[in-house]
């Protein structure tokens, strides 16, 4: 059931497998709180799933923060929305009795997850970033000591420049995160290779 409490419209699916980390599912532009539920179930069967809807509308399509143009982000809004999302996660953890979640974000959802890592490093236990971009041109040094992050880029992605994704990987490594960055033979959309790679990484 969709719930609008705790500051974000969201879906919560209780976990059924003890010891599995909850997943914070963050959709791409035009998605909603139901978009990645099936992906979450596939990646970690039995995990608790927390899926908020992006609160910003762009031409009627939900997003997690504003952009000024394709690939050009409103960085003040990125910072504000990342703080709002961090607060939501804290409230949801208290309400639902959750451990720190692992984010699984696609496109715009991956970018807000990256912003959480860079601005609010204690919020996430780790992250799977699918087609991410660097959300901030500059950010203060951050302590991500040992935090596991999987980044999956697409070799034929027309939206995310390879250098931009590499810069994000380096920014996270500079903070101490354990980053695995792989480029798959696909475009911006998700593929079975993404599901297989992310599932194996999460299981490990």
Q: Which residues are catalytic?
A: 107, 157, 188
Beta bridge partners of 67: 73
3-state secondary structure of 67: strand
Q: Which residues pair with 52 in a beta bridge?
A: 10
- Please name which of 192, 124, 111, 121 lies closest in space to residue 159, comparing C-alpha atoms: 111
DSSP SS3 for 93: helix
Q: In whole angstroms, what is the distance from residue 2 CA to residue 139 CA?
A: 34
CA–CA dist 113, 106 (Å, integer) = 9
Q: Say how far apart CA 86 and CA 2 lie, in whole Å.
A: 19
Residue entry with tokens 């699918």: 130
């Amino acid at each position: 059931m969709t719930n609008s409490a705790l500051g974000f419209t969201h879906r919560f699916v209780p976990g059924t497998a003890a010891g599995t980390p909850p997943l914070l599912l963050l959709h791409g532009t035009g998605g909603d709180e139901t978009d990645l539920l099936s992906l979450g179930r596939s990646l970690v069967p039995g995990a608790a799933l927390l899926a908020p809807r992006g609160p910003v509308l762009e031409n009627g399509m939900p997003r997690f923060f504003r952009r000024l143009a394709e690939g050009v982000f409103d960085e003040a809004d990125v910072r504000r929305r990342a703080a709002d999302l961090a607060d939501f996660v804290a409230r949801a953890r208290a309400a639902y009795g959750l451990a720190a979640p692992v984010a699984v974000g696609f496109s715009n959802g991956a970018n807000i997850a990256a912003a959480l890592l860079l601005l609010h490093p204690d919020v996430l236990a780790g992250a799977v970033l699918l087609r991410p971009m660097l959300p901030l041109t500059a950010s203060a040094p951050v302590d991500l000591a040992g935090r596991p992050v999987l980044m999956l880029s697409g070799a034929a992605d027309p939206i995310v420049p390879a250098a931009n994704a590499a810069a994000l990987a380096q920014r996270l490594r500079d903070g101490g995160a354990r980053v695995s960055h792989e480029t798959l033979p696909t475009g911006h959309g998700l593929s079975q290779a993404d599901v297989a790679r992310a599932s194996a990484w999460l299981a490990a």
